[in-house]
Amino acid sequence: MKKKIYLICLLSCTALIALAQHKTSVFINADQGKHIINKNIYGHFAEHLGRCIYGGFYVGENNEKIPNTAGVRNDVIEALKELKVPVLRWPGGCFADTYHWMDGIGPKDERPTIVNQWWGGVTEDNSFGTHDFLNMCEMLGAEPYLAGNVGSGAVHELADWVQYVNHNGTSPMADLRRENGRKEPWGVKYWGVGNEMWGCGGHMTPEYYANVFRQYSTFMTDWSNSSSLFRIASGANVGDYHWTEVLMRDVPKNLVEGVALHSYSFVEWNEKGSATAFNEAQYFSTMETALKMEELVTRHSTIMDKYDPEKRIALVVDEWGGWYNVEEGTNPGFLYQQNTMRDAMIAGTTLNIFNNHADRVRMANLAQTINVLQAVILTNESEMILTPTYHVMKMYNVHQDATLLPLEVMGGSTYEMNGKKLPAISASASKNKAGVIHASLVNIHASESKEIEIVLRGTENSKVSGTILKSAKLQDFNSFENPDKIKTEDFKGFKRKGDKITVTLPPFSVVVLKIEK
């Protein structure tokens, strides 16, 4: 009898342990925040690639079919204003190290053409140049981030560009700017010193590039006389930790403000698969690479901590997002792909990772804004649609410049396939200057809802509301025929009791909770 009772107790305890392992609790410490989530984590990337610039942002001043301001689409500007785009990187990417900025200024009918050797071999007329980009950033209310040509350029070329856009006195470049119609300087702060120098930027070794960077950075004088330039070194490709080690070791700290990192999410590098016709195994594999961002940011940050314990130098993830095969019938060099709920999962989990590492990650740039890779906007002539990724970034913009709240995700809620496990739940939280708390939650599981118990500590906020992005199928996307198939809705799947909020997250969904007095 005793043996029977013992077995019953053992089985009951085992069941309770198993139940506890599958329940997820998120503990949010609302009174312990100390790091600010830099708004630039929500930055974007616009390269001369495919239809990102021409046909995406820019349709030309003489286009009577598409409403525009100085050639820039009005609908795009309004949509990006809703996102509160804080910073925009241009002109590349690989294109940056073939771009000579002086070819893109002056009368447009006198500008030379350029063959885009990296992306499709198309000939561009340089009608979209420095003035067009910087004036567009002013329309957006976004900080410009200019990527300089190191691979095929020269030190004086980048130094002259800095002088052209930033110098307010009398100088050859400032005078040239005024001749071209811009009296006041733009005051550009963010500068990339080359791009992917380990690859398309010149296939350099980190030791060689560190010396090149030191040279270029030295001559990038801050002509604004008001604030220092923010010089960003071309950083590592994914897990190349040696690259980060060399830059942090060999570049004097007074010459660099940021170190970049590039990492994309895909099924397999050589077999990226379709953007829309993917199976669950391919989805799982894509999320596996997306969630590796946590490891990458942690390990690169650890190296940076060794040389920069004060965390003065930022980790800048200036290229990230999903990368798949191009849509059938499109130019392979244009990297045009659709955007599904899988991309919403990539966006939600990645932004949570960046938020939670706000002490070191202080800028990130989604690749890319329009019609390329994980775009937030797709265009087709005069038509424009917003993607699931757009909606996630709009939901998350409440975190911009808010105080990161430390949180802990506990429990064994996992997503399993073929012997592998991924954490099903991703979360981050912040508190803004008005004391309002926002918690962003993602359930990546393809078929199971997940119940989460949120425990709030150190706050009296009690009013809860929420927004959700979800759909019936992982493969769902917004099309020009059905542009609102996926859009945000009010979220009611929660219960509040005391300091606890019980939330039920549908499969592959993103939720942002607002908690206020």
- Per residue in 42-52, pLDDT tens? 999 999 999 99
Which tokens in the block code for residue 415?
A: 């997503």
Residue 144: name the closest of 86, 93, 97, 58 by CA: 86
Cβ atoms 399, 118 nearer than 8 A? no
pLDDT band at residue 224 under the 50/70/90 scheme: low
Please provide residue 127's backbone torsions phi and psi, each rounded to the nearest 5 degrees.
-70, -20
Instruction: Using alpha carbons only, give the angle 426, 431, 435 rounded to the nearest 5 degrees.
Output: 145
Task: Return the H-helix or E-strand segment holding 304.
Answer: helix 293-307
Is 501:495 a contact under the CB 8 Å cutoff? yes
Cα distances from 242 to residues 246, 361, 385, 444, in angstroms, run: 6, 19, 41, 32
| Pick from 17-26, 175-184, 251-260, 495-504: least confident | 17-26
Torsion from C-alpha of 469, 475, 478, 479, nearest 10 degrees: -170
Check residue 22 and give its pLDDT: 57
Task: Estimate to the nearest angstrom the gap between the alpha carbon of 82 and the chain centroid.
Answer: 16
Mean pLDDT over 391-408 rounds to: 97
Cα radius of gyration rounded to whole Å, the chain: 24
Give the integer Cα–Cα distance in Å for 50 and 327: 13
Residue at token pair 């329940």: 23
Helix (H/G/I), strand (E/B), else coil: 87 = strand
State the Cα–Cα distance between residues 265 and 367, nearest whole angstrom.
11
Could you read off the pLDDT of 471-487 as tens digits, one per residue? 999 999 999 999 999 99
Q: Is 490 helix (H, G, I), strand (E, B) or coil?
A: strand
Q: Report in angstroms the alpha-carbon separations of 59 from 63, 67, 75, 110.
A: 6, 9, 12, 19
The per-residue pLDDT for range 143-191, each reduced to its tens digit, is 999 999 999 999 999 999 999 999 999 999 999 999 999 999 999 999 9
Q: What is the CATH number of domain 23-33+405-516?
A: 2.60.40.1180
Phi, psi of 505 (to 5 degrees): -100, 120
For residue range 92-105, list pLDDT tens digits in order.
999 999 999 999 99
**pLDDT tier for residue 368 given thresholds of 50, 70 and 90:** very high
C-alpha count within 13 angstroms, C-beta hemisphere, residue 127? 16
The Cα–Cα gap between 218 and 409 comes to: 45
Both tokens assigned to 326: 């191009």
Instruction: List strand residue ranges (DSSP E) for 204-313, in order.
Output: 230-237, 258-265
What is the distance between the alpha carbons of residues 426 and 346, in angstroms, rounded to a whole number?
11
Q: What whole-number percentage of the chain has pLDDT above 90?
A: 91
Give the confidence band of 269 by pLDDT, cuts at 50, 70, 90: confident
* pLDDT at residue 2, as a whole number: 42
| DSSP per-residue letters across 460-488 | ---EEEEEEE--S-TT-B--SSSTTSS--
Catalytic residues, by residue number, are: 196, 319
- Return the amino acid letter for 245: E
Q: Please provide the DSSP assignment of 391-449 as one string.
A: HHHHHHGGGTTPEEPPEEEES--EEEETTEEEESEEEEEEE-TTS-EEEEEEE--SS--
| Domain positions in the chain | 23-33+405-516, 39-401
Q: Cα(387)–Cα(152) distance, rounded to whole angstroms?
A: 35
- With contact defined as beta carbons under 8 Å apart, do 58 and 99 qualify? no
Instruction: Grade residue 16 by pLDDT with cuts at 50, 70 and 90.
Output: very low
At 295, the pLDDT band (50, 70, 90 cuts) reads: very high
* 340 contacts 474 by C-beta, under 8 angstroms: yes
Q: Mean pLDDT: which of 19-23, 270-274, 427-431 is highest?
A: 427-431
pTM, full prediction = 0.94
- Per-residue pLDDT of 298-344, as tens digits, reads 999 999 999 999 999 999 999 999 999 999 999 999 999 999 999 99
* Amino acid 460: pLDDT: 86
Collapsing DSSP to helix, strand or coil, 29 comes out as strand
Structure tokens belonging to residue 161 = 């560009």
Largest CA distance in the chain: 98
Whole-number mean pLDDT of the chain? 93
Q: Does the structure show a pLDDT above 80 at 71?
A: yes
β-strand 509-516 against 437-443: which pairing, if any?
A: antiparallel
Quote the pLDDT of residue 432: 97
pLDDT of residue 461: 81
H/E stretch holding 245 reads helix 241-250
Give the CATH number of domain 39-401. Answer: 3.20.20.80
In sequence order, the β-bridge partners of residue 193 are 148, 233
Residue 19's pLDDT band (cuts 50, 70, 90): very low
Nearest-angstrom CA–CA distance, 352 and 440: 7
